[in-house]
Amino acid sequence: MSDLTTVFDKWRQQFLNERLLLKPGPNGWDLYSKLVAQAYADAPDYDAAAAPLFKSLSPFVEKIFKQIQSRVSVEFVEEDPYKEDEE
C-alpha cells in the first residue's frame, strides 16, 4: 500500500466515516494537514512507480499554465526576484 493510499484511508476513516466536514480546528483542517505533512515526510525521495503517473499530469499542467498566462504576465528569470518569502 502506498503512502498516499494510507493517508487517504486515514482521512476517510477520520472524516467520512464519522461524517465530519473539514472545518477549522484540531479535528478538521488541522488534523488533515498533519496527515498530509506526515505522508510527505514518510514518502521516499523517489518512487519509480510514481514517475509515469506524474508524467501523465503534463497535459493538465500545461493547459492550466496556458490559462494562467492568458491572465497574468509570467516572466522566467535566472535569479530569485524576491528578497523575502512574504514577497
Summarize pLDDT for 3-24 with one digit per residue, the tens.
666 766 776 676 665 555 667 7
79: in domain: no
Pick from 53, 49, 22, 17: nearest CA to 35? 22
10: in domain: yes
1 pLDDT above the threshold of 60 = no
CA atoms within 13 A on the CB side of 6: 11
Distance CA 35, CA 6 (A): 10
Structural domain containing residue 35: 3-69
In three-state secondary structure terms, 30 is helix
Number of domains in the chain: 1
84: in domain: no
41: in domain: yes
What pLDDT was estimated at residue 29? 83
Query: pTM for this one?
Result: 0.45
